[in-house]
Amino acid sequence: MTAHKVITSLKEIFSRNGTPDMIVSDNARQFDCSEFREFVQKWEITHHTSSPHYAQSNGQAERCIQTVKTLMKRANMSKNDPMYALLEYRNTPIDGLRGFAPSQILNGRLLRSRIPVSTSLLRPQAIPPLQDDLAERQRRQLTNYNARAQIKPLPSLSTNQDVVFRAKPGTWRQ
């Protein structure tokens, strides 16, 4: 997808839902160009990028993409409408955010679907700020990751020693 198409899609989303304070993306070329930099500056949005070639650093987005791909495959295999699967995904509560679903966080209410739900949950209601809950959830994830990660001290280097490094996935240089 080109930078122009990404920007057009973002403008459509922002016109419906408002402008975010920040966009987090990978380092794909459509986000690393003058057109996108001008767009975020004009719309007064902070742009943060994750580490290149290291999908784990953008784990929340990567996990969401994996989940949506699984939903699409399962819907297609069962000959169901994939958009209905997305609707139900948006109505599913997120662990660690007081049981609120993405639709409740974004719209202040659940979205009506074929699954029966109390009509009170379909009416807009004030959702308490969840930044502290999200920060706590991220802190727990970091603690769990660090507990399992094997952090090894790097060996010392000497002057004029040959060094091999990975330039990009599958490509090593000396």
Closest CA to 132 of 98, 109, 84, 89: 98
Residue type, 168: K
Q: Is there a contact between 24 and 1 (Cβ–Cβ < 8 Å)?
A: no
128 confidence band (pLDDT: 50, 70, 90): confident
54 confidence band (pLDDT: 50, 70, 90): low
Neighbours of 128 (CB within 10 A): 8
What is the average per-residue pLDDT within 148-153?
78
Q: Would you say residue 106 has pLDDT above 90? A: no
Burial tier of 113 (Cβ tally within 10 Å: 0-12, 13-18, 19+): middle
